[in-house]
Amino acid sequence: MRLAETEAHSETGPDTATIETLRLLEDRIRWLSTWTIHNANNIREKRDGLKVGGHQASCASMTTLMAALYFHVLRPEDRVAVKPHASPVFHAVEYLFGKQSLDQLKNFRALGGAQSYPSRTKDKDDVDFSTGSVGLGVAITAFSSLVQDYLTSHDWLDKDRQGRMISLLGDAELDEGNIYEALIEAHKHRIRNTWWIVDYNRQSLDAITNDRMFRRFDDVFRTMGWEVVTLKYGKRQQEAFKHKGGDALRDWIDSCPNELYAALTYKGGEAWRAQLISDIGEVPGIKPLLSEYDDDQLSDLMTELGGHCLETLLEAFSSVDSDKPHFFIAYTIKGKGLPFAGHKDNHAGLLNTKQVEAMRDQLGIAPGDEWKPFSGLNGDQAKGLENYLRAVPFNQPANRRPLADKIDLPEKDVFPKPGSAKDSTQAAFGKILNDLAKGDSDLASRIVTTSPDVTVSTNLGGWVNQRGLYNRDEKADLFKEEKIESAQKWIMTSSGQHLELGIAENNLFLMLGALGMSHHLFGERLLPIGTVYDPFISRGLDALNYAVYQDARFMLVATPAGVTLGPEGGAHQSIGTPLIGMGQPGLTYFEPTYVDELSAIMRWSFDHMQADEGGSVYLRLTTRPLVQPDRVFSPELEQDVLKGAYWHVPPGPGAEIAIVYTGAIAPEAIAAHEQLLEDVPGAGLLAVPSADVLHRDWTRSRRSPWTGEGGTTSHVDKLLSQLSPQAGLVTVVDGAPSTLSWLGGVKGQRTIPLGIETFGQSGDLIDLYDTYRINPSAILDACASLYVR
């Protein structure tokens, strides 16, 4: 194992009594996490023959770190993302604080019980950030610290409500590229109050990690302006190094390959001794030094690395005296204190019953008392721990889930609704925000926009001109000062309302996730809007899922979309995104055609983003300018738009056919419908601004007799009932045809779905719609084929 040389130290260490108490608490959480996993796998009844799983080694690797933090260092305003596989340790900590129930622990990984990985939305105790998809829980803390700064700059957050945003991560998580994308963005925004603490056990899931990464992480983080603190040796090791031969021992540790260190850890004291004697036994002082330790003590000495030494950890954490971001590399042993410590296959390894019982006996816990928080301790010790836990700073009454007020929305009649005769939904989106920016509504003050280098090309320019860019560092618009003409006035201030990101879509979703949790984390509501090109949603898909899973609330505006971007097309065409919108729980997908629809949907979205049972919204927009309908946007029409569909041209009684369209392809559907009417009077034309809302309402209605969700007939059922039961449908969307093909299942009406199934070339709309067969003649061909049985 090669180790870095920087050590953290301070003049005043914690007192011995505190260390002793913390040691006992660490034993508790190591035991409880081991037992929770054991119970779930070996004691609780199994009904399906599936492995339950759990990660005892990953937990044991981090118990010292978590004991030091939760039982000493943390303050209630601090927010922590815990490495996914240490979830049982977190729940054990909460259990000792009295914030987690025994029932939850007993039901670890069972429905309604403590979750496999910490979950803000599903766990019942106080999880700050969900984790699970490694890397994302790390980066979200940096973005949350940026949100904290944003709120502070806007005078919404007092200093005493500011905390540190902390990630406890595994070393293999450092392979996730999203961490480095976040690091770059964090550097640009000069983030602070962020600690990333690596459980540096040099094991991943499959293997021992590569020696070549030694010292690389330190370099990377230092280069990016972080304070790097390497916690490499425990105190006992540091004591040993002071003796004759100590330097050689230290050098040996430094140069030992990761794999050998892990193997010797697993084999134990005798193996350590043999290896050390063989490698450096001739160095003066080594043999006498080693002879001072029996085999067990030698094993302890060699494995009590910085991350397992409370004194070392507490000194390091308490010596932080700036808000500079800190990167702690805490050397640990995976499975420390468990029989498979250091074994390369221990990631998903489970102790067998004999081993668990041996651990229990060693702690003096009587059979049957396994769940008792202080079992195995004498009365004084138990009392001492209880008193200590009551006084722990992190356990003090504090409102860690503050309730944020709702932001009032402008009345419907004053909500912006641009009135051009011809407009695209993207341009109209920009105008709506521009109009809001000019006003002084509460809504406008709480909107915060963000975009990964596509601010201008997604029409956010007007908004940014008025509301400015946000950065803690003020910066004038140099082009303006130099009197150079430009439509974009990019003034950067601490009161700005647009967060400009570099081209990393993953960061966009992490940013939206952090902004969208502001009301929960900081008690201040923000209404985040992020813009992106529709195809690049896929680039950040896991982070999008992650944000939504945490119940972050935001508006995602994706534009341009489909093949309708025309000559710009090819690689920038998006096909499957409607299905992403439909398939993602917690995200409601709309694809309006007209500006009046868009305006109503945006107003609804700001409400939905704040509703208790609400969620996030995805608007799939276009750059294609469309002639706007000359119509009264009645409350009934608005209702239908928000329910997902309306009859653009209602069908005649018992009509035999309808054309159904979504989004920018409307002119082709309309043209085809006009021709169809010549042969089939009464044919209907159905507009579907949200296949997602429509589909969810339909499936809810179908299952409601069994789930009691309210048994009203679905909106789509009512609409399609206006057609003959034998009617046929031709659906068309600039996207995957399956977005609308399900409509055939509602009433059993024969359906021909049109859409994009291959892609990848530029062209004008005439050629592209022809090539991909979504033009009027293709729609009419499909209508004709409905009559061929």
Ligand X SMILES: Cc1ncc(C[n+]2csc(CCOP(=O)(O)OP(=O)(O)O)c2C)c(N)n1
Q: Which residues bind ligand X (CB under 6 A)?
A: 58, 61, 83-85, 133-134, 170-173, 199, 201, 203-205, 334, 347
The three-class DSSP label of residue 36 is: helix
Taking the complex as a whole, the smallest distance from the CB of residue 341 to Mg ion amounts, in Å, to: 13
Beta carbon nearer to ligand X, 203 or 434: 203
Look up residue 620 and give its two tokens: 């799939």
- Among ligand X, Mg ion, none, the one that 163 touches (CB under a kind-dependent 5 to 8 A) is none
Region binding Mg ion by CB under 5 A among candidate stretches 164-172, 461-469, 561-569, 726-734: 164-172
The three-class DSSP label of residue 233 is: strand
Taking the complex as a whole, the smallest distance from the CB of residue 61 to ligand X amounts, in Å, to: 5
Beta carbon nearer to ligand X, 58 or 564: 58
Beta carbon nearer to Mg ion, 170 or 684: 170
DSSP per position, 534-566: GGGGGGGHHHHHHHHHTT---EEEE-S-TTTTG
DSSP state of 203: B
Taking the complex as a whole, the smallest distance from the CB of residue 61 to Mg ion amounts, in Å, to: 7
DSSP state of 208: B
Taking the complex as a whole, the smallest distance from the CB of residue 312 to ligand X amounts, in Å, to: 19
CA distance 106 to 121: 19
- Among ligand X, Mg ion, none, the one that 723 touches (CB under a kind-dependent 5 to 8 A) is none
Beta carbon nearer to ligand X, 85 or 120: 85
**Cα angle 296, 297, 303; round to 5:** 90
Region binding Mg ion by CB under 5 A among candidate stretches 194-202, 323-331, 616-624, 779-787: 194-202
- Among ligand X, Mg ion, none, the one that 269 touches (CB under a kind-dependent 5 to 8 A) is none
Beta carbon nearer to ligand X, 133 or 771: 133
Taking the complex as a whole, the smallest distance from the CB of residue 210 to Mg ion amounts, in Å, to: 12
Beta carbon nearer to ligand X, 116 or 701: 116
Beta carbon nearer to ligand X, 133 or 355: 133
- Report the half-sphere exposure of 703 (CA within 13 A, side-chain side): 7
- Among ligand X, Mg ion, none, the one that 572 touches (CB under a kind-dependent 5 to 8 A) is none
Beta carbon nearer to ligand X, 307 or 663: 307
- Among ligand X, Mg ion, none, the one that 152 touches (CB under a kind-dependent 5 to 8 A) is none
Taking the complex as a whole, the smallest distance from the CB of residue 346 to Mg ion amounts, in Å, to: 10
Residues 32-51 within binding reach of Mg ion (CB under 5 A): none
Taking the complex as a whole, the smallest distance from the CB of residue 485 to Mg ion amounts, in Å, to: 55
Beta carbon nearer to Mg ion, 21 or 203: 203
Instruction: Please tell me whether residue 170 binds Mg ion under the rule CB under 5 A.
Output: yes
Backbone phi, then psi, for 245, in 5-degree steps?
A: 90, -10
- Report the half-sphere exposure of 141 (CA within 13 A, side-chain side): 30
- Among ligand X, Mg ion, none, the one that 343 touches (CB under a kind-dependent 5 to 8 A) is none
Taking the complex as a whole, the smallest distance from the CB of residue 173 to Mg ion amounts, in Å, to: 8
Taking the complex as a whole, the smallest distance from the CB of residue 173 to ligand X amounts, in Å, to: 4
Contacts 24+ apart (CB under 8 A), 88-91: 88/32, 88/33, 88/34, 88/36, 88/37, 88/54, 88/55, 88/59, 88/114, 89/29, 89/30, 89/33, 89/59, 89/62, 89/63, 90/66, 90/118, 90/125, 90/127, 91/33, 91/36, 91/123, 91/125
Beta carbon nearer to ligand X, 203 or 573: 203
Residues 699-728 within binding reach of Mg ion (CB under 5 A): none
- Considering only residues 145, 193, 194, 203, which one is a binding residue for Mg ion as defined by CB under 5 A? 203
| CA torsion, ordered 152, 156, 160, 164, to nearest 10 deg | -50
Taking the complex as a whole, the smallest distance from the CB of residue 206 to ligand X amounts, in Å, to: 7
Cβ neighbours of residue 291 closer than 8 Å, sequence gap 6 or more = none
Look up residue 470 and give its two tokens: 């946000």
CA distance 71 to 388: 9
Region binding Mg ion by CB under 5 A among candidate stretches 172-180, 350-358, 501-509, 628-636: 172-180
Look up residue 528 and give its two tokens: 């985040």
User: Exposure of 483 by Cβ count < 10 A (0-12 exposed, 13-18 middle, 19+ buried)?
Assistant: exposed
CA distance 520 to 127: 11
Instruction: Please tell me whether residue 201 binds Mg ion under the rule CB under 5 A.
Output: yes
Instruction: Please tell me whether residue 605 binds Mg ion under the rule CB under 5 A.
Output: no
Q: Number of residues in contact with Mg ion, rule: CB under 5 A? A: 5
CA distance 715 to 572: 34
- Among Mg ion, ligand X, none, the one that 133 touches (CB under a kind-dependent 5 to 8 A) is ligand X
Beta carbon nearer to ligand X, 85 or 417: 85
Instruction: Please tell me whether residue 171 binds Mg ion under the rule CB under 5 A.
Output: yes
Taking the complex as a whole, the smallest distance from the CB of residue 58 to Mg ion amounts, in Å, to: 7
**What Cα–Cα distance (Å) separates residue 55 from each residue in 87, 177, 345, 350, 397?**
9, 24, 11, 7, 31
Are 410 and 440 contacting, i.e. CB atoms less than 8 angstroms apart? no
- Among ligand X, Mg ion, none, the one that 173 touches (CB under a kind-dependent 5 to 8 A) is ligand X
Look up residue 143 and give its two tokens: 């973005």
Instruction: Please tell me whether residue 258 binds Mg ion under the rule CB under 5 A.
Output: no
Taking the complex as a whole, the smallest distance from the CB of residue 44 to ligand X amounts, in Å, to: 23
Beta carbon nearer to Mg ion, 123 or 171: 171
Integer Rg of the chain from CA: 31
- Binding residues (CB under 5 A) for Mg ion: these are 170-172, 201, 203
